[in-house]
Amino acid sequence: MVDQAKVEELKRIAHRIRCDIIWALAHAQSGHPGGSLSATDICVALYFYALKHDPKACQWEGRDRVIFSKGHVSPLIFSLLAESGYIPREELRTFRKFGSRLQGHPNVECPGIEVGTGSLGQGLSIAVGLALGLRMDGKPNRVYCIMGDGENQEGSTWEAIMSAGHYKLDNLCVILDNNGLQIDGWVEDVMGLQPLADKWRAFRWHVIEIDGHDMAQCMEALDQAKQVKGQPTVIIAKTVKGKGVSWMENMAEWHGKAPKQDQCREALKELACPAEYFDF
Amino acid sequence: MSEIKWKATRDGYGDALVEMGAQDERIVVLGADLTDSTRALWFAQKYPDRFFDFGIAEQNMLNAAAGFALAGKIPWVSTYGVFVAGRAWDQIRTTTCYSNLNVKIGGAHGGISVGPDGATHQALEDVATMRVLPNMTVIVPADYYETKKAVIWACKHVGPVYVRFGREPVPVVTKLDDPFIMGKANLINDGTDVTIINNGPVLWECMKAVHTLREKGISARLANMHTVKPIDRETIAKAARETGAIVTVEEHQVMGGFGSAVAEVVVQTCPVPMRFIGIQDRFGESGTPEELFEEFGLTARHIVAAVEDVLKAKRG
């Protein structure tokens, strides 16, 4: 059974992260809200429950590694890094601005980022090599890769899935943010992927399917993934794109469009964000 | 000249990997079902625990190499230049080069001399696509020894490196104790009328051309420039100033490749007439290396003709 107090704590963090995402977008007036909000809960469970890391020593040898294949969710990534203490929260004001360490898609200039990502279909391959390299040295570090569902349309993703299954990478865990939408619309309409879980299973992966907004399920899935031996694990987290802002939910248009400033105020109000978030 | 030894540049790659594998345990080799023909097999046989086959999936292999680099390894990706520098270019660009990761790429079967397989397997654009990438070092060695030295150098260098080599045996024209300084050309022959700047295993044809030119009373300088990027600006500018005409020679498309890199320096330092020996905006085809060199204008005879032409332009 999961620790209920921890669940409540993580929910509070997830709420702050959602506020930070909208706040960063309000300052940048550009960026990707939809997938950032859908992946928030599972990523909070990862960063503040499952992950071994030390934000004060981001190159610590014993750290688990996180590869954000869906690099466009940078508002979420930078909010996670700020909440963890890798970067000052104030820096989120500079997101996507000239000279900032917080680029439109994350790169190695930002502490806590292992590798620059954002060109979809590439992250899992990096994670595969990293997991193989760590395993060669007998290191216990785990590798997490955060992916979108649309990315499964990339051929290179299936090359990576195939190789991770082949090499039995049980130190590798994919978190699949299965919000069902991509820029052009519903994934199933654009280029259908179902039965998605069966496809991963067929490539020799252990599949866990959860409600990606149920914090207890997110924690349990991450716990379970650590126990799986002899094969990599994918957590298919069923999520809602734009989760938390009613008029963004399940709307493909909020994939890569930043809300205007008055819309950001509306979103912050709906999220019941504290007064200090309204400073733009 | 009668005692010329012939050896493939890919053998230099395989031998260097084995040699460096013994010295540095961080070296791992990744293959894509071409383990024997790239000579990665020699490493795989000696260090099976440090060899990983990724099957026929180059894009995944290139980013897996980036992952190995993140884990502190020195990964060598081994496949044909045409697959690595074309199919997996986006991976090399956006993962390895953008994050400046320590990934080494062995581009095998470079140039038209691959022969009978024809256009699909002849890498003729790889130097162009690799040299436009920030942080990437591009080396095209001329023979067996130079390939070995390039690979040894790359193992010790921190950052992305592309080393391109060929399939067929070519004359071993450099010596074991010749210097290999990354970014620095080796002068093969001094001369005053024109400079021939060579890149890759076509060096032998250049040497024959210099010999013929001498008989015709033309004094040709010959510089062997193994590093395409960073390019040896000093040697190029000096050649332009002192000889007043330049001919570049490469087994690659003339557009965007080595000759273009030289021309970029020439126009910025000391503009002089230039001619470019290489593939002239065509795809390759099947044939023996000899037949193809003749058809695509890469023999000593063609180099001599280009020199005579550029000298006309020089004299006005």
Angle between helices A74-84 and A4-28 (to 10 degrees): 120
B303 close to B206: Cβ distance less than 8 angstroms: yes
| Interchain CB distance below 8 Å, A125 and B64 | yes
Distance CA A112, CA A70 (A): 16
**Terminal CA-to-CA distance of chain B, rounded, Å?**
36
Task: Answer whether B37 touches A (CB < 8 Å).
Answer: no
pLDDT at A115 over 70: yes
| Interchain CB distance below 8 Å, A162 and B95 | no
Phi-psi region of A261 (alpha: psi -120 to 50; beta: other; left: phi over 0): alpha
Q: Which of B219, B187, B224 is nearest to B204 (CA)?
A: B224
Give the gyration radius of chain A's Cα atoms: 18
pLDDT at A1 over 90: no
Active site residue B291: no
Q: Please list, in sequence order, all residues whose beta carbon lies within 8 angstroms of the beta carbon of residue B257, skipping any fewer than 6 positions away.
A: B125, B127, B128, B131, B228, B250, B278
**Model confidence pLDDT, tens digit, residues A65-75:** 999 999 999 99
The 3-state DSSP class for residue B315 equals helix
Please report, for residues A20, A94, A265, A273, A279, the alpha-carbon distance to residue A260 in angstroms, rounded to integers and kept in the order given: 15, 17, 9, 17, 14
Task: Answer whether B292 touches A (CB < 8 Å).
Answer: no
pLDDT attached to residue B141: 98
Would you say the pTM of this structure is higher than 0.95?
yes
- The residue of chain A with its CA nearest to that of B49 is A136
Assigned token pair, A39:
């992946």
| Interchain CB distance below 8 Å, A133 and B59 | no
Q: How buried is residue B69: exposed, middle or buried, by Cβ count under 10 Å (0-12/13-18/19+)? A: buried
Please report, for residues A10, A14, B152, the alpha-carbon distance to residue A83 in angstroms, rounded to integers and kept in the order given: 12, 10, 44
B166 close to B110: Cβ distance less than 8 angstroms: yes
pLDDT tens per residue across all 316 residues of chain B: 557 899 999 999 999 999 999 999 999 999 999 999 999 999 999 999 999 999 999 999 999 999 999 999 999 999 999 999 999 999 999 999 999 999 999 999 999 999 999 999 999 999 999 999 999 999 999 999 999 999 999 999 999 999 999 999 999 999 999 999 999 999 999 999 999 999 999 999 999 999 999 999 999 999 999 999 999 999 999 999 999 999 999 999 999 999 999 999 999 999 999 999 999 999 999 999 999 999 999 999 999 999 999 999 998 8
Hey, CA dihedral for B210, B212, B214, B218, is it positive or negative? negative
Distance CA A187, CA A201 (A): 20
pLDDT at A40 over 70: yes
| Interchain CB distance below 8 Å, A159 and B100 | no
- The residue of chain B with its CA nearest to that of A110 is B99
- The residue of chain A with its CA nearest to that of B70 is A130
A183 close to A252: Cβ distance less than 8 angstroms: yes
- Residue B304 DSSP one-character state: H
| Interchain CB distance below 8 Å, A129 and B67 | yes
Q: How many other CB atoms are there within 10 angstroms of residue B192's CB atom?
A: 12
Distance CA B125, CA B110 (A): 9
B111 close to A172: Cβ distance less than 8 angstroms: no
pLDDT at A47 over 70: yes
Among candidate residues B3, B25, B58, B294, the one labeled active-site is B58
Q: How many other CB atoms are there within 10 angstroms of residue B129's CB atom?
A: 21
Distance CA B316, CA B301 (A): 23
Task: Answer whether B24 touches A (CB < 8 Å).
Answer: no
DSSP A17-51: HHHHHHHHHHHHS-S-HHHHHHSHHHHHHIIIII-
Average pLDDT of A212-229?
98
* A interface residues, B as partner, C-beta within 8 Å: 65, 107-108, 114-119, 121-122, 125-134, 136-137, 155-156, 159-160, 162-163, 166-167
